Amino acid sequence: MKSSYLMFYFSKLSIFSMAICFVSLFARLFLPAEFLSEDLPYYIVMFYVVTAISFVVLYKKRKTNFVPTFMLTKIIKFLTYIFVLILVFLLDIETNIKFAVSYCIIFFLFLVFDTITISQLSRKEVEESKLLKNTNNDEVENN
């Protein structure tokens, strides 16, 4: 993956996070207050940061085995999210239904975004490496 992939991913992640913020803002107008957490912006920031860090780790380890690194980052992210979930429940920071609904929706949205975006980027890199390999093979044949 080129460094442009890093900028591409962060711009998509930022736009996606802002879209979630706007949707949650409008949802506050239409949904009952007991379904949305007051701390929703903080959770969005947490998911943004964890997703960004995991992509940076994945980007730096792209030359090694991609699949094990990808799975390891997914597991660490999932454990981080579970830890925060348990922590909020145990410390009784919020009412359970508000937190659970908001947190699960954001978790699902970021999971889908991350999986789709990383698979698109990895597909692009595979295509570019095949194109580069074909170009190199054509140069060798011509010489």
The 3-state secondary structure of 77-130 reads HHHHHHHHHHHHHHHCCCCHHHHHHHHHHHHHHHHHHHHHHHHHHHHHHHHHHH
Give the domain range for residue 115.
3-136
Two tokens at 85?
A: 């979930």
Q: Quick check: is 28 in a domain?
A: yes
Instruction: Please state, in angstroms and rounded to a whole number, the distance separating the CA atoms of residues 5 and 66.
Output: 15
Indicate whether 15 belongs to any domain.
Answer: yes
Q: Is position 52 within any domain? A: yes
Look at the chain and count its residues. Answer: 143
- Which of 55, 43, 44, 46 lies closest to 10 in space, CA to CA? 55
Cβ-contact 73, 54 below 8 angstroms: yes
Rounded to two decimals, the pTM is 0.78
Is 143 a member of any domain?
A: no
pLDDT for res 138: 61
Domain contains 73: yes
Quick one: pLDDT at residue 1? 46
List CB contacts of 13: < 8 A, sequence separation 6 or more: 48, 51, 52, 55, 113, 117
For the chain, which residues score pLDDT lower than 50? 1
Positive/negative CA dihedral, 21, 13, 50, 101: positive
DSSP secondary structure code for residue 143 in this structure: -
The total of structural domains in the chain comes to 1
The answer to whether residues 68 and 59 touch, using CB atoms and an 8 Å cutoff, is no
